[in-house]
Amino acid sequence: MSDTATPPLFPAFERFVERNGLLANAKGILAARLPRILGQGQTQAEGLNMPPAVIERQQELYALSLPDSATPDPAVRHEIADAKRALEAHAEHMRHPDNRRRFAMQVLHHLEGVQTGNKDNHFFAGRLVLVPDKSGQNWAWSMTAHYPVIGKIPADIDYVVNAYKSAERIVDDWTLPVDLFLDRLLLAWTMAKHFTSGDDIFIADVARLFKIAAQNERFWGTPARRNFEDVPEAVFIANLINWRRNKDSATSRDSFEFELVPATLNQAHGPRSRAFFVPGNAEGTVVRPMIYMRRQTV
């Protein structure tokens, strides 16, 4: 669970750091690692405003390489050994599929006011799918099982539950009005076509360039790195769903339409596949592989 207790997680290590002035003199990876061990900074899950989880702090402590001038005392070595044992036990526990399923069910049980369940061998909450990595050490809330909104969530129930709320906010914040999305979609498609020799435009390329097309007016007014906001690939899917459901309610009627072309079996599979997976149901537990986006005159 999350590190909400008042006592320090590694009291001997904290005393060791203070006694040796390590924080003040740390450089490179040590300067990044020490604060995380002490519970400062952010979890590795981007978009989740929480401090490092206990498991993350244990990982950082075990991986820590100290300068030769700072030799850990027995109490610190004991804490490092304890962290190693905890990590090994956690990894062994999450390695088993049944334990990953139980963990996912516990997460869903803690979510209130949203439909949750298991469908098509995927756990879902609302429009998001809960996806573990192969080890069960990291989790993601995704649009379908393919496109994370927030990934690299530590296997801590509090963190995964809070990440769901954050992922929903991210999707809501980036879901554009239908008219505006169509305008930005056309921009992304046009940019993708500019870099394509033929008439078949990969949906994956349109989605990649949508991250640029979706930027706000501040970026377009002053194109600079500081004004560029990171747009999860899942945002494209969220807007595509919203547009396809509500395009008849758009205030403007355009003289063109976009067609999504289904992928063949060969196009949908394999390490070089360019298929883009579009939800086939409301939960995103079923997907339909699409390959091209074609513009049609109507």
Beta bridge partners of 258: 295
pTM value is 0.88
CB 12 within 8 A of CB 73: yes
Determine whether 19 is exposed, middle or buried from the number of CB atoms within 10 Å of its CB (0-12, 13-18, 19+).
exposed
Mean local confidence (pLDDT), 143-172 = 96
- Encoding tokens for residue 148? 């994370």
pLDDT at 256: 67
Mean local confidence (pLDDT), 169-181 = 93
Could you report how far apart the first and last alpha carbons of the chain are, in Å?
Answer: 55
pLDDT digits (tens, 9 = 90+) for 264-289: 999 999 888 999 999 999 899 999 99
Beta strands in 50-166 (DSSP E): 116-119, 122-125, 128-132, 138-143, 147-154
* Rounded-to-integer distance, Cα 261 and Cα 263, Å: 6
CB within 8 Å of 218: residues ≥ 6 apart: 227
Q: Where do the H-state alpha helices sit in 111-177?
A: 157-174
pLDDT at 251: 61
| Band of pLDDT at residue 197, cut at 50, 70 and 90 | confident
* Rounded-to-integer distance, Cα 123 and Cα 142, Å: 11
Per-residue burial over 268-283, b = 16 or more CB atoms within 10 Å of its CB, e = otherwise: beeeeeebbbbbeeeb
* Rounded-to-integer distance, Cα 292 and Cα 280, Å: 17
| 25-29, 143-147, 217-221, 280-284: which is most confident | 143-147
pLDDT digits (tens, 9 = 90+) for 30-66: 999 999 999 999 999 988 999 999 999 999 999 999 8
Mean pLDDT of the chain: 92
CB within 8 Å of 206: residues ≥ 6 apart: 185, 188, 189, 192, 236, 293
* Rounded-to-integer distance, Cα 22 and Cα 280, Å: 53
User: Max Cα separation, the chain?
Assistant: 76
Domain ranges of the chain: 11-95, 97-169, 175-297
Is residue 18 over pLDDT 90?
yes
